[in-house]
Amino acid sequence: MANYKNVSVKGRTFRVRAGDVLLDGALANGVDIPHDCRAGTCGACMVQVVKGQTVCGETHTHGMVHACQARVVSDLEVEMEDVPEIDTTRARLTGIRELAPDILELKIAPERSITYLPGQYFRFAFNGFPARAYSPTGSFDGRIGGRVIHLNVKRVRGGRVSTALGTSIRPGHRLRVEGPFGRAFLRPGGKGRLILAGSGTGFAPVWAIACMALREYRGRPIVMIAGARRLSALYMKPALMQLARLPNVTIIPVIEEGPSPTPAVRIGRIEAHMPPLEASDIVYACGSPRMVSALAGLVDGAGATFYADPFESAAPEESGGLIGILKTLVQPRRNLQQSGEDGPAQRQPESYRSEPA
């Protein structure tokens, strides 16, 4: 005789067989849990386990599981954060410029407005090319929203899409935009310290988070750690300069390969230059899976809150005097109070709205 369990998702209750995957059981019963990769990587299907137990699908955030991997082993109650609905719209590429060797900025104008949370990502499918996942970001002067979506894209050797940018894919090219996806977004209402770590173009989502956090509360303490392979790839210097003007923000630029022209730019990996962590810190990590995994261990040891977006490149066979002004003082160890760091559960996160062109 089959062993069934009762599952409640945001107040909707249904039954599944013991051992069934949570996401599959929910979708089969008409309950939508936003999802994307189904591999436990993207974070789009993360849910909070309120009561009961699951096996597999654990995340770096306490109590959160990947619904696409978690299997139901008891009666279960889970909650999901309110996020903008996944939608699809048409758009066109309006601009391309080089930010650094192999790093491009794309400007994309959607045909109608789209809403997303800072740190979320979309799938962009240029006509004639496969879809790729990129995170919208702010312009380097800190402007967010508006009529144009800004993307930071790395050219991947052998990549079918990234190598076509500027040649087969030029301004005017049409594309489809689907999303938003992801759970590594800024939660509203916080005034405690944010630690934002972005390696390579993982800087794009953490810059979006920084822009929104400072718009919400100008005095919020922030540590921004921006990493790149070498100095020439540290493409985000103009944005770091904007942040460096604020007394509550600490900037730590890091390159893996020296030499560095100044002590202001540190040598090594991002995790080696993390400030001492407190349980009240909120840490966002976006970029290489290796970096995300390394930071997860540090955050877990401190009992801090962690949100991550590991970047996975499509395989080639699938896909055809400025720095001196940057501040480098590490934020001193603090005893910050939790006091609703992520805001009350019922509050809607503030979102970006991209207006139609």
How many CA atoms does the CB half-sphere of 213 hold within 13 Å?
31
Is the same domain home to 70 and 142?
Answer: no
- pTM attached to this predicted model: 0.81
How many CA atoms does the CB half-sphere of 348 hold within 13 Å?
7
> 286 with 309: CB under 8 angstroms?
yes
Higher pLDDT residue, 260 or 351?
Answer: 260
pLDDT in tens, 280-330: 999 999 999 999 999 999 998 999 999 999 886 554 434 333 333 232 222
- Please enumerate in sequence order all residues whose Cβ is within 8 A of that of 19, keeping only pairs 6 or more positions apart, or say none: 71, 72, 73
Q: Which of 30-34, 222-226, 244-248, 311-315 has the lowest mean pLDDT?
A: 311-315
pLDDT in tens, 99-108: 999 999 999 9
357 domain residue, yes or no: no
Residue 124 belongs to what domain range? Answer: 87-181
pLDDT at 352: 58
99 domain residue, yes or no: yes
pLDDT at 346: 31
Is the same domain home to 311 and 223?
Answer: yes
Domain containing residue 58: CATH number: 3.10.20.30
Nearest to 156 by CA among 177, 179, 137, 133: 133
Domain boundary among 131, 146, 181: 181
Token pair listed for 44: 């789009």
Q: What is the DSSP letter of 189?
A: T
351 domain residue, yes or no: no
How far is Cα 45 from Cα 17, in angstroms, rounded to an integer? Answer: 20
pLDDT at 257 over 90: yes
Domain containing residue 94: CATH number: 2.40.30.10
Is the same domain home to 337 and 224?
Answer: yes
pLDDT in tens, 78-130: 988 888 999 999 999 999 999 999 999 999 999 999 999 999 999 999 999 99
pLDDT at 146 over 90: no
pLDDT in tens, 332-351: 222 222 222 333 223 344 55
174 domain residue, yes or no: yes
- Please enumerate in sequence order all residues whose Cβ is within 8 A of that of 85, keeping only pairs 6 or more positions apart, or say none: none
